Amino acid sequence: MNRPVQFFSDEYLALCRKMSSSQIAKFLEDFRSLQVASGSGSKCRMISIKIPEDLLAAFRVRCDLHRKAYQTTIKELMRDWLNKNTNV
C-alpha cells in the first residue's frame, strides 16, 4: 500500500517546537475526536481483560435489556469517559 509522504515547512516545524505539552495533548485529542466523528478511526485491537464474572454477567443482562451489544457499549463508555476527561 502506497502512502503519501507529508512534508512540513521550516516555519511550521518551528511553531510545533514551541508548543507546550498541554497544547500538544489538546491537538492530539482534537485530532482523535475528528477521526471518531468522521468514522475513520483506527483499527480495532483484540485485548484480554479480567472482569469479575458477576459484574460481566450483570453488565451483559443490562445491555440485553436495552438491546445493545455489550462490547459496543464498553467502547461507548470508554469514549464517553475520554470525552468528559479532556482537561490536561
47 and 57 Cβ atoms separated by less than 8 Å: no
The counts of H helices and E strands in the chain are 4, 0
pLDDT digits (tens, 9 = 90+) for 11-61: 888 988 999 988 888 888 877 777 666 555 567 788 999 999 999 999 999
Q: Rounded to an integer, what distance in angstroms lies between the CA atom of residue 33 and that of residue 14?
A: 25
pTM confidence score: 0.49
